[in-house]
Amino acid sequence: MDSRVFFRRLAFLSVVSAVLMVSVVGSPVRVSAQTDTGDIPDLVGIWDGSPRSRPINGPTMPWTSDNFPVLNERALAFQAVFDEAIAGKYDCVPAASPALQYDPYFLEVVQWPDRVLFRYEKDDQLRTVWLDGREPFPNEYTLQGFSVGGYEGNELIVETTRFVFDIAGFDDYNGIPSSQLKKVTERYWRDGEELRMTLTLEDPLFLREPASYTTRWLPAPEGYKLNPYECDAEEARRSVRYMIPKYR
């Protein structure tokens, strides 16, 4: 076959393939909800969640006697047999909601028309909050779950489900797990120069009723960049050697 004929046919097939691809995939998704940017709170920036902004996390923070979740018998049983040495953090397993949001590190927020990105300095985690109404795939269960959201007044409302079972999914210091039924609802808003959030946690497999806490971030120092977490699995497990084992 003449080379010129071959390349003409190849070009024709490329055009046909492109047309077929457009007809199958369709046009890009466009966000139709809340197009008035004046109604959208400005959450963009790098935010300081260190002890400069709030008390450091621990057995009583952010959970206190006033808001500590009411555990059912299943959760109490898990908590009773929990051994600190099996916590995933010693294998560089990232923290998940509701602990990730309160860990004393910096947070970067990026707002796009169809999504909001939360990038956490802790554990180098990136969460995507979809604003376009999409649904998760049937088998889409992850450590950070699947997040959808929208704007209501001056707030960003985020709802996250589709978590995997996590032996330390409540936090990494109370020995309370979380299940695939865990649901986390976050409300973000600006209070002057501060970023504020109220988080509500539900998990009918382990909690008798919802629990919540409210926290804040302060603006990061000018020019601050998120630092890589760089967890080393061998180094992270080194401290386990010095723990007194609960079971022998």
Please give the Cα distance from 164 to 22 (Å, whole number): 35
pLDDT in tens, 200-248: 999 999 999 999 999 999 999 999 999 999 999 899 999 898 898 888 7
Beta strands in the chain (DSSP E): 45-48, 106-111, 115-120, 125-130, 146-152, 155-161, 183-191, 194-202, 211-219
Largest CA distance in the chain: 83
Structural domain includes residue 19? no
What is the pLDDT, as a whole number, of residue 22?
A: 35
pLDDT at 8 over 60: no
Question: Is 1 a domain residue?
Answer: no
Judge whether 241 lies within some domain. no
In a domain, 35, yes or no: no
Residue 230 lies in a domain: no
Q: Indicate which CATH number applies to the domain containing 128.
A: 2.40.128.20
Taking only the tens place, the pLDDT of each residue in 100-132 is: 999 999 999 999 999 999 999 999 999 999 999
Residue numbers of the domain that contains 197: 41-52+60-219
pTM: 0.83
DSSP type of residue 18: H
pLDDT of residue 2: 52
Count the domains in the chain.
1
Strand partners, 107: 47, 120
In Å, what is the CA distance from 28 to each residue of 14, 15, 18, 22, 25? 21, 19, 15, 10, 8
Task: Answer yes or no: is 197 within a domain.
Answer: yes
Q: What is the pLDDT, as a whole number, of residue 9?
A: 52
Amino acid at 100: L
For residue range 197-209, list pLDDT tens digits in order: 999 999 999 999 9
